[in-house]
Structure 1
């Protein structure tokens, strides 16, 4: 599905913001680990942040 979510910050902040967004806006309760994997797959360079 299309989603225009955007966030700035380190990996922990972005992960938590995305997890909250997906639950509140899309009704999906992903684990923190699953969200981290989504982010790392889409933005591999964030791993060092």
Structure 2
């Protein structure tokens, strides 16, 4: 598992890169799904 430490002054953050990648891919998938729905809605409204 890849992890990255970020040191910012007195604060230390540990970033799990695999988790961040999964989250980003999930968000991208949701965006594409939403865009597809929006396009379908516009298409059906234009046909009416």
Shorter-chain TM-score above 0.5? no
The structure with more strand, counted as a fraction of residues:
2
The interval holding the TM-score normalised by the smaller chain is 0.3 to 0.5
Larger-Rg structure = 2
Higher relative contact order (CA 8 A, sep 6+): 1
TM-score scaled by length of structure 1: 0.34
